[in-house]
Amino acid sequence: MTRIKTTRHTKIVATCGPACETPEAINHLISNGVNVFRMNFSHGTHQHHKKLIQIIRTEAAALEKPVAIMQDLQGPRLRTGRLKGGEHVELQNGARISITPGDFPGTPESIATDYAQLTTDVKPGRRILISDGLIELKVESVSQKSVVCSVVSGGLLRENQGINLPGADLSISPPTEKDIEDLALGIECGVDYVAMSFVTTVKELMDLREEMEKTGADTTPALVAKIEHPQAVDNLHEILSETDAVMVARGDLGLEMNPEDVPSAQKYIIKTANKRAIPVITATQMLDSMIRNPRPTRAETSDVANAILDGSDAVMLSGETAIGQYPAETAHMMGKIADRAEPLLPDFKPIPDEKTYYTPAHSGEPTSSLAAAACRIARDAGAKAIAAFTMTGTTARFVARHRTPLPVYAMTPVEETYRRLALVWGIIPRRFPSLESTDDMITLGKKHMLRAGIAAPGDTVICIAGPSTGTAGGTDMLKLLHF
């Protein structure tokens, strides 16, 4: 039997869009290393999303790959309205422009917005950023109907562009009515993760969980909190207590706070999530130039590598795969950068003692202590791999946070866990039957690993599991399995 080659540890998230929505394109992306597909519910119809989900499931099954689907809810996104007589208008530096809630064709002097509470949420002197911050306005005056601004940095304004109000406390919060409608579709279609946009407090996550429960579904998706507001950074510990994963959404984060503060925020979010064994995705403009070019810039490759060395479980492609000219090539390049960066991880994130990862939420948990011990023993014993028998994926996540260079095989009988673990650093999910006893689990597991080429005669594999693979929680066993 040919030995399985150790795979890349860092996971790749690819955003779906017009450039990659055919079966052939999805197949090429999976073949080039994509582990998770992000579906942006700011765009597209429910019928379109349902069709795409089916395509992803079909192609993943054909390739026999564990692939997760992440539904990204729009959240309380503010947008400009339609424009009079064309695709865009030009805003000149120093000009005055009014922004009025409503639906009318805009001009260089007056534009519409879909945000009805704009006049109550902004104050004179505040900034308004449009189109990812490319256009900057300064609020001069506010009336009951309109906000009058001066143009600080002008440019071409297109229809339906995003609006950011740095420093403002918005009157609306997630989940919105649209989010709840979209969530119902996601649960119906069996998405693996739901990403909540513009999270600022833990209550918003709890509200979304409540909406999930209202659907009455037997299984609900795991929750991803997108950190794209300074208030979310301030409330990070509370947010991490309620979420299943977190995303460093640097696009809006870089508009809501000073750009020079984003790198330190990124490192803080990743480090804090790592301590809690919560998967973390780093996103936005990672290989942005590959939307147009077949090769990335040197700065972009360094950005991806440093996000991995910071401790990201996954790195995300946005426009690169959604609208770019080279979606599969971009995914392949992301994987090559990860291949070069991962051998450097021991210098940046050596396997720590359990005390290094002490948190009130996890102190004293057997799973946490056994995962730390598994990594240390595997290193000292020269093991070929670690096998984590898991129902919920928790055991595998605790092992993954130690960034062991060994392959970690997550053996699970639960289909949802099999797919969700596609997001977690270094985890190779494998389907494994639910058994009645630990002895049966070890016996069958050993046969499975030999057949699959995970281990060969003479090898050692570290096994970590609970008393029964049919019971969630209760991880209490660590075993050196000699072949």
The 3 state secondary structure assigned to the chain is: CCCCCCCCCCEEEEECCHHHCCHHHHHHHHHCCCCEEEEECCCCCHHHHHHHHHHHHHHHHHHCCCCEEEEECCCCCEEECCECCCCEEEECCCCEEEEEECCCCECCCEEEECCCCHHHHCCCCCEEEECCCCEEEEEEEECCCCEEEEEEECEEEECCCEEECCCCCCCCCCCCHHHHHHHHHHHHHCCCEEEECCCCCHHHHHHHHHHHHHCCCCCCCEEEEEECCHHHHHCHHHHHCCCCEEEEEHHHHHHHCCHHHHHHHHHHHHHHHHHCCCCEEEECCCCHHHHCCCCCCHHHHHHHHHHHHHCCCEEEECHHHHCCCCHHHHHHHHHHHHHHHHHHHHHHCCCCCHHHHCCCCCCCCHHHHHHHHHHHHHHHHCCCEEEEECCCCHHHHHHHCCCCCCCEEEEECCHHHHHHHHHCCCEEEEECCCCCCHHHHHHHHHHHHHHHCCCCCCCEEEEEECCCCCCCCCCCEEEEEEC
List the pLDDT tens digit at each of the 483 positions of the chain.
333 335 799 999 999 999 999 999 999 999 999 999 999 999 999 999 999 999 999 999 999 999 999 999 999 989 999 999 877 899 999 999 999 999 999 999 999 999 999 999 999 999 999 998 999 999 999 999 999 999 999 999 999 999 999 988 889 989 999 999 999 999 999 999 999 999 999 999 999 999 999 999 999 999 999 999 999 999 999 999 999 999 999 999 999 999 999 999 999 999 999 999 999 999 999 999 999 999 999 999 999 999 999 999 999 999 999 999 999 999 999 999 999 999 999 887 655 555 554 444 444 477 888 999 999 999 999 999 999 999 999 999 999 999 999 999 999 999 999 999 999 999 999 999 987 788 888 899 899 999 999 999 999 999 998 765 555 556 778 999 999
Check residue 361 and give its pLDDT.
Answer: 45
Q: Return the residue matching tokens 């104050």.
A: 123
Query: 136, 164, 192 — which closes off a domain?
Result: 164
* Residue 348 domain flag: no
Of the candidates 242, 246, 253, 254, the one whose C-alpha atom is nearest the C-alpha of residue 224 is 246
Give every CB contact of residue 356 below 8 A, 6+ residues apart in sequence. Answer: none
204 with 317, same domain: the answer is yes
Give every CB contact of residue 265 below 8 A, 6+ residues apart in sequence. Answer: 227, 233, 248, 253, 257
* Residue 28 domain flag: yes
Q: What does the alpha-carbon distance between residue 305 and residue 315 come to, in Å, rounded to a whole number? A: 10
* Residue 300 domain flag: yes
* Residue 349 domain flag: no
113 with 154, same domain: the answer is yes
Check residue 375 and give its pLDDT.
Answer: 93
* Residue 170 domain flag: no
Determine which one of 10, 11, 38, 475 is catalytic.
38
Amino acid residing at 242: E
129 with 180, same domain: the answer is no
Query: 142, 164, 186 — which closes off a domain?
Result: 164
235 with 254, same domain: the answer is yes
Determine which one of 10, 282, 284, 475 is catalytic.
284
Check residue 355 and give its pLDDT.
Answer: 53
Rg of the chain over CA atoms, in angstroms?
24
Check residue 3 and give its pLDDT.
Answer: 37
Q: Is 79 a catalytic residue?
A: yes
374 with 271, same domain: the answer is no
Please answer whether residues 430 and 389 qualify as being in contact, where contact means their C-beta atoms are separated by less than 8 angstroms: no
* Residue 219 domain flag: yes
Determine which one of 226, 276, 384, 401 is catalytic.
226
The domain spanning residue 120 has which CATH number?
2.40.33.10
* Residue 410 domain flag: yes
Direct distance between the N- and C-terminal alpha carbons of the chain, in angstroms, rounded to an integer: 14
Strand partners, 150: 96, 138
Tokens of 195: 């990403």
254 with 364, same domain: the answer is no
324 with 256, same domain: the answer is yes
The domain spanning residue 359 has which CATH number?
3.40.1380.20
* Residue 347 domain flag: no
Domain count, the chain: 3
Angle (CA) 393-399-400 rounded to 5° is 85
322 with 238, same domain: the answer is yes
194 with 248, same domain: the answer is yes
Pairing of strands 193-196, 314-317: unpaired
Q: Residue 477's domain spans which residues? A: 354-482
Query: 104, 132, 164 — which closes off a domain?
Result: 164
The domain spanning residue 69 has which CATH number?
3.20.20.60
Pairing of strands 88-91, 96-101: unpaired
65 with 85, same domain: the answer is no
84 with 71, same domain: the answer is no
Determine which one of 8, 65, 79, 336 is catalytic.
79
Q: What does the alpha-carbon distance between residue 345 and residue 280 come to, in Å, rounded to a whole number? A: 16
Residue 285 main-chain phi, psi, to 5 deg: 55, 35
371 with 462, same domain: the answer is yes
